[in-house]
A and B are shown apart, each in its own frame.
Chain A
């Protein structure tokens, strides 16, 4: 069993972690208190464990922790907090886009990466982008509304 020492940045802060090689990034992040990263399916399907790895949404349940070495990680805490929310977070609140909230961190990070790459994303593009993030509560409409409200030229078809 290989033990590794890995160094990465987490929400802008340099971090180190000691881990066995068979641990996933999800396990290591949660063990060090990043419980804003949620474990749902553990199989890459649901998107609750989404983190940005060098800016790209990935399923942290399907990434070995060893792969975080030297990389930049962002969780929803890196987006903003109650004191200084990101516009997407404010829009989720304003639109009632979170109910139980379990899917919300993954939804926000996926939406953030989408609007960073496609600031004028249409509703169709938003739907496609969040197709891999499952929500058991909202029925998605309010989530799409919230994200669309943050797109440039908001509420385009």
Chain B
């Protein structure tokens, strides 16, 4: 079905875009890669009066290194993450996660900012942002604020973005050198969204876990961190099976709901299996980095 008609503007500067969004409030919808918004428009699930195309805002394509972190502009494409272009290579976790997103055509156009702002509960990049204790930079005509990933994702497809606000960048604290990471997911067919995805980051100290972090997608409305499991893993040595045992010993602190894609029980099962796999692979990678 064709989309319902709308007005269209492609402002040349961020300031112009923010002015437009302030003037038109809830009537306006920003467009990044269009890989989630265009289907919403043609299915008429979204009917904005004005589409504000961000494509000309080159200032949102920058990748910067700040002390201890990487700041990735909202319009950086999944493809650039997947290829580890330029400074993005400093965070190889992004390569692994982005390679799992949709199909090659989605990755050619979809953007980091669009994925994080859209906040699909099964999306990889919001989980990566959570696993790395990242934050988002939000700008409106009134100014800028920085929101932690843990506060940004509010519910299914719902974030702390206010009308008139744009996500301009994501901030990813870089794990210590030698950290290992892994993304494990299960999807029904190549190119589908994951049913469940697990992102793990493990830092070792002398063969024992100094810090392990796990974020899950697909087990609730927002990406989940597994604080209790993470605490239990601290100090754990990496003899074979130790991680699997730690995961099996306690029920994961998640409360998934069943839907047409998978029952709650199946999601819970996948979460445990994928969490263990991701942690083991991340720990192995960290072990190799030390040797």
Contacts and interface: CB of A to CB of B under 8 A. Distances in A.
Contacts of A2: 6-9
Contact of A64 (B9, B31, B104, B106): B31
A1 interface: yes
Contacts of B102: 44, 132
Using C-beta atoms within 8 Å of the partner chain, give the interface range for chain B. Answer: 20 to 34
A67 B108 CA distance: 14
Nearest to A2: B8
Contacts, number: 93
Interface string B224-250: 000000000000000000000000000
A143 to B, nearest CB: 15
Contacts of B3: 22-24
B285 interface: no
Contact of B38 (A45, A47, A56, A64): A64
Contact of B4 (A22, A44, A45, A131): A22
A132 B4 contact: no
Given A2-B7, A22-B41, A110-B104, A45 B191 contact: yes
B39 A62 contact: yes
Given A110-B104, A132-B103, A1 B5 contact: yes
B76 to A, nearest CB: 15
B42 A61 contact: yes
A56 B51 CA distance: 24
B69 interface: no
Interface in A117-148: 129, 131-132
Interface in B87-116: 102-106, 108-109
Interface of A: 1-2, 4, 20-24, 27, 42-45, 47, 50, 53, 56-59, 61-64, 66-67, 110, 129, 131-132
Interface of B: 1-10, 31, 34-35, 38-39, 41-43, 51, 53, 55, 102-106, 108-109, 190-191
